[in-house]
Structure 1
């Protein structure tokens, strides 16, 4: 069975929602059957889209979003994505990146995401502190979900984990869904 293309998924969305995708602010293409295997240029036609969900498909890399000049939130959870390469195409506007349950082990390229406020990357393959430290390069980052990565398993307990992350990421106010309480100097 052939994968669903982005063009087919968008056409299906238009039919189900009785709306032109080009005008929509929120487009949900998750749980396609058969799943979407590849992000492509059809996504760039979604010029007014502010929130795009492509979760629970079989996507292996980020692509085709260069024309999405208003995108603020993208959900790519539960796919087969191995790197953040390609996300830089929406760096000027993206505020939330939901990419949990993928195969990402490096956060190379996250530094271009200067407007990023929310980053959900639980249950991936991050195992080195150097990768977590890269998040310091996102000045607006406030909410991070990192649990379920191999790096967390190396910690003796949840308190050590939270202390180690918040020591490295001084700007965040929420970690793994729980607000951070810092002792005042």
Structure 2
């Protein structure tokens, strides 16, 4: 989309992107354009609120922003029914008086072992982090074992296949391809 094809008000709202507009992908241009249109349709109160929210977002540490993005991604993946129930619960919470909210928070802390929702005490890890560490620890333990002490399940697949073939050969008492029955030469076949 060419910069000149935008309306005057859209160009004014997007003037910060004018220099790089032609290098943006169509998706990026579309996203900026939708944002500009949404901004122009807001009341001054909504714009002030949006500015405050943006400043609040920018003041968050990068780690916290990443956590919030991940939470939102997980939320979007929920079934529509579950997202609706979360929205309804949040709306009910917003309609509570400050005293009711505090009582709710207190009950939540008690139910969660004095933890505030979404926050972890220093050093405490999420279930996902604990499982990942356990998996990595198990992999390291398997790799640290001397080769002879490794169990069959610890070996890479290719190594397991090789082991199976050599075990079969040992069971049959064969040492190489030349000793296969079909390769044996008998006096009958030579005459």
TM range (shorter): under 0.3
TM-score by length of 1: 0.23
TM-score by length of 2: 0.23
Q: Which has the larger radius of gyration?
A: 2
The structure richer in helix per residue is 2
By relative contact order (CA 8 Å, sep 6+), the higher-ranking structure is: 1
